[in-house]
Amino acid sequence: MAQVQEFLEQLYQEFKGNSEGRLASYIPELARANADWFGISMVTLDGRTYEVGDVAQKFTIQSISKVFVYGMALEDYGREQLLKKVGVEPTGDPFNSLIRLDEDSKRPENPMVNAGAIATTGLIAGHDPADRLNRLLSMLQRYVGSEVFVDVSTFMSEKSTGHRNRAMAHLMLNFGMIDQPIEEALDLYFQQCSVLVTCHDLAVMAATLANQGVNPVTSTRAVGSEHVRDILSVMYTCGMYNFAGEWAFRMGIPAKSGVSGGILAVVPNRAGIAVFSPLLDSHGNSVRGLKVFEALSKQYGFHLFDLSLGRCNFASRD
Ligand code: GLN
């Protein structure tokens, strides 16, 4: 599939000069990112990688972690129990919005925005905070295929500046939406956001979801196949903040973005793709990331509902 590699290189050249957007600046660690960083990585279900640019640059996973922690909560509680605690309704509001947290709802709207993510993280099973963190890191390791670490300075910054997230947790506690000790839930949430990954790692993680929960590089199961459908459904409807509807409409595949500039997308039964470029648009999505996915989706017919398309499966026989 030399053409795939060539196409990625072409996209890299086409968009690397695009300097629209801004770096996230709410903590110093993110503001220090290099605006030129740009990587594209695709991992196919037979474990092959096509990639270009800064695919080995480490950055913090941020909101993309929400996808995987939701998967873990599904494993810990099962679909119906979890649904009682955290909904699956898209909000159309920014990721850090407090608007939907009102007394009538009894549960946060969905696990891909901060309120629902903090509540989901608070549900993760474990004997104590260290055990919960270890379980969460081992889970991420299964998706990545190697050891993952928390960036301590990002964690400390998130923790000391996260007043809005803390306010959400307090509101949810007040409304009886969560009942765990909220400082522990917040710490674990800030830790999960501060896990270091590369663009390549994100592509492997996405490919694992595309492959029904089995990491195609290590052949290790990362999550039960029965949960993949639920994970991809919320990614599809809620994964791109208040751009989720337009993303679904244009790209037609489940995806999740993070404030450090990563976007991870799953092409079910075909491939996992990640783009990393820290310049963000007003929704908090990577500007170059959106451009790359738009071009890829068009070129390779990703849209799940475009039934007229012949599909390229990125397997050697294609
Ligand atoms: N740590 C960030 C927060 O909770 C993550 C936000 C994001 O990536 N959108 O605000």
Q: What is the mean pLDDT of residues 43-66?
A: 97
**In the chain, pLDDT over 70 holds for what percent of residues?**
94
Q: Of 12, 70, 143, 189, which is the active-site residue?
A: 189
Give the distance (Å) from ligand 1 centre to CA of residue 106.
Answer: 23
pLDDT digit string (tens) for 184-235? 999 999 999 999 999 999 999 999 999 999 999 999 999 999 999 999 999 9
Q: Of 259, 266, 267, 287, which is the active-site residue?
A: 259
Enter the CATH code of domain 64-193. 3.40.710.10
- Ligand 1, CB within 6 Å, residue ranges: 62-63, 95-96, 114, 158, 165, 193, 258-259, 284
Q: Would you place residue 109 in the very low, low, confident or very high pLDDT band (cuts 50, 70, 90)?
A: confident
Q: Of 217, 241, 256, 287, which is the active-site residue?
A: 241
- The first and second tokens of residue 104, run together, are 């009538």
CA 52, CA 199: separation in Å to the nearest integer?
Answer: 10
Whole-number pLDDT of residue 176 = 85
Residue 237 pLDDT greater than 90, yes or no: yes
Residue 63 pLDDT greater than 60, yes or no: yes
Give the distance (Å) from ligand 1 centre to CA of residue 95.
Answer: 8
Give the distance (Å) from ligand 1 centre to CA of residue 303.
Answer: 27
CA 41, CA 265: separation in Å to the nearest integer?
Answer: 11
Give the distance (Å) from ligand 1 centre to CA of residue 236.
Answer: 19
Q: Among 54-68, 100-114, 296-310, name the one with the lowest average pLDDT.
A: 100-114
Residue 105 pLDDT greater than 80, yes or no: no
Backbone angles phi, psi at 275, to 5 degrees: -125, 140
CA 162, CA 207: separation in Å to the nearest integer?
Answer: 31
Domain ranges of the chain: 2-62+196-300, 64-193
CA 190, CA 100: separation in Å to the nearest integer?
Answer: 22
Whole-number pLDDT of residue 312 = 65
Encode 290-317: b = buried (16+ Cβ within 10 Å), e = exposed.
Answer: bbbbebbbeebbbbbeeeeeeebebeee
Whole-number pLDDT of residue 213 = 98
Residue 97 pLDDT greater than 90, yes or no: no
Q: What is the mean pLDDT of residues 14-41?
A: 96
Give the distance (Å) from ligand 1 centre to CA of residue 258.
Answer: 7
Give the distance (Å) from ligand 1 centre to CA of residue 305.
Answer: 30
* Strands of 255-257's sheet in order across: 49-53, 39-44, 271-276, 262-267, 255-257
Residue 34 pLDDT greater than 80, yes or no: yes
Whole-number pLDDT of residue 110 = 92
Residue nearest to atom 4 of ligand 1 (CA): 114
**2-62+196-300 homologous superfamily:** DD-peptidase/beta-lactamase superfamily (3.40.710.10)
What is the best residue among 27, 66, 95, 186 to mutate for testing ligand 1's pocket, by most ligand atoms within 8 Å of CB?
A: 95
Q: What is the mean pLDDT of residues 69-88?
A: 96
- Most confident segment among 53-57, 99-103, 179-183: 53-57
**Is 241 an annotated catalytic residue?**
yes
Whole-number pLDDT of residue 202 = 98
In the chain, what is the straight-line distance between the N-terminal and C-terminal CA atoms, in Å? 8
**In the chain, pLDDT over 90 holds for what percent of residues?**
85
Q: Which of 298, 277, 297 is CA-nearest to residue 289?
A: 277
Q: Would you place residue 106 in the very low, low, confident or very high pLDDT band (cuts 50, 70, 90)?
A: confident
Q: Of 4, 50, 63, 88, which is the active-site residue?
A: 63
Q: What is the mean pLDDT of residues 134-150?
A: 98
Q: Would you place residue 92 in the very low, low, confident or very high pLDDT band (cuts 50, 70, 90)?
A: confident
62 CA: nearest ligand 1 atom? 8
Residue 152 pLDDT greater than 60, yes or no: yes
Q: Of 4, 50, 66, 300, which is the active-site residue?
A: 66
- Mean pLDDT, all residues of the chain: 93
64 CA: nearest ligand 1 atom? 8
Whole-number pLDDT of residue 153 = 97
CA 143, CA 139: separation in Å to the nearest integer?
Answer: 7
- The first and second tokens of residue 247, run together, are 């993303």
Residue 318 pLDDT greater than 60, yes or no: no
**Is 189 an annotated catalytic residue?**
yes
